[in-house]
Structure 1
Amino acid sequence: MIGLVLAAGAGRRLRPHTDTLPKALVPVVGPEGPEGAADSLTVLDLTLANFAEIGLTEVAVVVGYRKEAVYARKDALERTYGLKLTLIDNDKAEEWNNAYSLWCARDVLGHGVILANGDTVHPVSVEKTLLAARGGGKRIVLALDTVKQLADEEMKVVAEPGRGVRRITKLMDPAQATGEYIGVTLIEGEAAAELADALKTTFERDPDLYYEDGYQELVDRGFTIDVAPIGDVAWVEIDNHDDLAKGRVIACQY
């Protein structure tokens, strides 16, 4: 099993931080600067540290917007976290949504991956929860926050015991949801081909769709996607400056 990070996004709501950096390289811990200080930690740093702690040795990172900044740091990141990094180019990162971005990594899905969005600050307990949920025929397991009070923006999930995910979408009454998908998934290698096909169907239908819409496509085809509740842990998806401030507080707790 390897790690996989989606780090191709522009993060326009985080400007001016993202004028020169992809969202995954915006400093979360330590000094800030127009190019990101060398001794600061980013979401990508925090995610790679999590992967290293659970014993992974290889990580693929999908890059797109300002990808040269990730390429420039590749060697240093490998040395710091003891990981072998493979960078995968998304040629449509500034045009299409992340269903295509995950599909770009289809060739590594067969190794089995723990997928993490490049804008999610979360503790390593999330990865450990997913690993503990392996087995029993599960092929895809989503990390689910069943504690947080939900609103309109969250990626909401309806899950049923024994049947797994029934719906995953932002376009849902929060009161109907079982919880929020936090942007971290365990994908077993045997799910790779079916997931890649569902993602292709999804972005060909509408390139603005999310990879979670690809998950819904799988569910609609009869594929079982399971969930693993992460418990009452602090985490945040960094979309804007308020989220970044929260992320800086949360990251200091780990």
Structure 2
Amino acid sequence: MIGLVLAAGAGRRLRPYTDTLPKALVPVGPSGTEGDPDAVTVLDLTLGNFAEVGLTEVAVIVGYRKEAVYERRAALEQKYGLKLTLIDNDKAEEWNNAYSLWCGRDALKDGVILANGDTVHPVSVEKTLLAARGGDKKIILALDTVKRLADEEMKVVVDPEKGMRRITKLMDPAEATGEYIGVTLIEGDAAQELADALRATFERDPQLYYEDGYQELVNRGFRIDVAPIGDVPWVEIDNHDDLARGREIACQY
């Protein structure tokens, strides 16, 4: 099993940081500044988590300002003891992330822990997903069942007998079981079916999310499981308020 990070996004709501950096390289450390090669970023935190649970290889899907990731690859490999493979998303600034994850379809064959490049979270999330493996489970979503939900969150409905039934932002929060936090364990034998579902998703509408690909899978009869992460601090960084929260959380790790 390897790590897989979606780091192709522009994160325009985080300007001026993202004038020169992809969102995954925005500093989240307490003293980090843009352009400081030692600044702790979301990518740093994720790679640290992967290394802590014993992964040795990570694929990173890059697009917007990808040269910044290429420039830091050797230093990140040395810092975390990981081999990094960078995968180019040629449509990162045009299409949404269903296509971006499809770009990593070959990496999926190894089995992956997938992490969004804008999710600050503790290593307990990866440990929870790994502990949930077994049986016939092929895809396991990290689910926050504690947080109070609003309109913007990626909400999930779970049937205790059938697993995930719906995943969408476009849902009454009162109907949801919890929020998908942007981290998934995907077994290698799910790779082909997931890749097919992602392709169908972005061909239907290139602005769809990879979570819409998960919904496509479920609609086809594929079972997706969930693992509640408990009451742990995490944040998806979309704007400057989220970034401030991410910096608070990063100080706790």
TM-score under structure 2 length normalisation: 0.99
What are the residue-to-residue correspondences of 1:146-157 with 2, within 5 Å? 146-157=145-156
Aligned residue pairs total: 253
* Contact 2:32–2:40 (CA under 8 A) maintained in structure 1: no
Residue 145 of structure 1 pairs with residue 144 of structure 2: yes
What are the residue-to-residue correspondences of 1:49-198 with 2, within 5 Å? 49-198=48-197
The 3-state SS of whatever aligns with 2:222 is coil
Distance, in Å, in 1 between the alignment partners of 2:95 and 2:15 is: 19
Per the alignment, residue 219 of structure 2 pairs with 220
The 3-state SS of whatever aligns with 1:45 is helix
Q: CA deviation at 1:58?
A: 0.1
Per the alignment, residue 46 of structure 2 pairs with 47
Q: CA deviation at 1:38?
A: 2.0
The 3-state SS of whatever aligns with 2:149 is coil
The 3-state SS of whatever aligns with 2:51 is helix
Q: CA deviation at 1:32?
A: 4.0
Structure 1: unaligned runs, 5 residues or longer: none
Per the alignment, residue 17 of structure 1 pairs with 17
Instruction: Give CA deviations for 1:41-88 in whole Å, capped at 9, x if unaligned.
Output: 000000000000000000000000000000000000000000000000
Q: CA deviation at 1:11?
A: 0.1
The 3-state SS of whatever aligns with 2:152 is coil
% identical aligned pairs? 83
Distance, in Å, in 2 between the alignment partners of 1:30 and 1:86 is: 28
Instruction: Give CA deviations for 1:95-151 in whole Å, capped at 9, x if unaligned.
Output: 000000000000110000000000000000000000000001100000000000000
The 3-state SS of whatever aligns with 1:27 is coil
The 3-state SS of whatever aligns with 2:185 is strand
Q: CA deviation at 1:34?
A: 3.9
Letter of the 2:29 counterpart = V
* Contact 2:143–2:229 (CA under 8 A) maintained in structure 1: yes
Letter of the 2:9 counterpart = G
Structure 2: unaligned runs, 5 residues or longer: none
Per the alignment, residue 204 of structure 1 pairs with 203
The root-mean-square deviation of aligned C-alpha atoms, in Å, is 0.6
Q: CA deviation at 1:162?
A: 1.7
Where does structure 1 differ by over 4 angstroms across 4 or more consecutive aligned residues? none
* Contact 1:31–1:39 (CA under 8 A) maintained in structure 2: no
TM-score under structure 1 length normalisation: 0.99
* Contact 2:30–2:251 (CA under 8 A) maintained in structure 1: no
* Contact 1:30–1:39 (CA under 8 A) maintained in structure 2: no
Per the alignment, residue 249 of structure 2 pairs with 250
